[in-house]
Amino acid sequence: MNPVKVYTDALKKSFDYRGKATREEYWMFLAAAFTISVILVGLAVGVVILLIGSAAVFDGLSSDAYDTETKIFLIVLLAVWLIVLLSVVGLPWCSLMTRRVNDMGWSRWCLMVFVITPYVPKWISPVLMIFFGLIPSKKQENDPSANEL
């Protein structure tokens, strides 16, 4: 299983919160999502630097180089890129985390930890992501997909 296949499968299942996701699927998705996030953020930063650089070259480094329209355009451009990043990485990640919690045999309410994370120290969220990725699948006797491993 390679990260690209796992990522395309996760995109197809973006709105499917039923079923299960294995540890391998979870970690491969995180690897692909990290790579895609770095690429999209790099493109956004590159475009902003290009636009600011061209304004500085053509207008000189005067105070008029960054007029209000340019600032608004850059803010809108970054907002659009963040929405694209959220839809390309965030939505599949939410459904994958729900399926991963199902695979562990836990309640979906455990995902509320990520909702309250902004109100606790910043190091807790990555620790929880690693923790959820390391928990083994729950064995169930009447599950026909358990024999596919």
| Pair 74, 51: CB distance under 8 Å | yes
Domain locations in the chain?
Answer: 3-143
Convert 78-101 to b/e letters by CB count within 10 Å (16 or more is b): eeebeeebeebbeebbebbbbbbb
**Does residue 40 surpass a pLDDT of 50?**
yes
Higher pLDDT, 63 or 78: 78
CB 70 within 8 A of CB 62: no
* The residue type at 70: T
Residues 29-50: what's their mean pLDDT? 84
Percent of the chain residues past pLDDT 70, beyond the cut: 79
pTM: 0.64
Q: Is residue 70 within 8 Å of 51, Cβ to Cβ?
A: yes
In one-letter notation, the amino acid at residue 35 is: T
For position 62, what pLDDT does the model report?
53
Task: Name the percent of the chain lying above pLDDT 90.
Answer: 0
Q: Which two tokens stand for residue 4?
A: 């690209």
For residues 110 and 128, the answer to whether their CB atoms sit within 8 Å is no
Interval 66-72 mean pLDDT: 73
DSSP class of residue 138 equals P
Give the pLDDT confidence of 8-31 residue by residue, as tens digits: 888 888 888 888 888 888 889 888
Q: 24-38, 50-64, 118-132 — which one is most confidently predicted on average?
A: 24-38
Q: What is the mean pLDDT of residues 106-121?
A: 75
31/132 Cα distance (integer angstroms): 15
No. of H helices and E strands in the chain?
6, 0
pLDDT grade for 149, boundaries at 50, 70 and 90: very low
**Whether residue 110 has pLDDT greater than 50:** yes
Average pLDDT over residues 64-81: 75
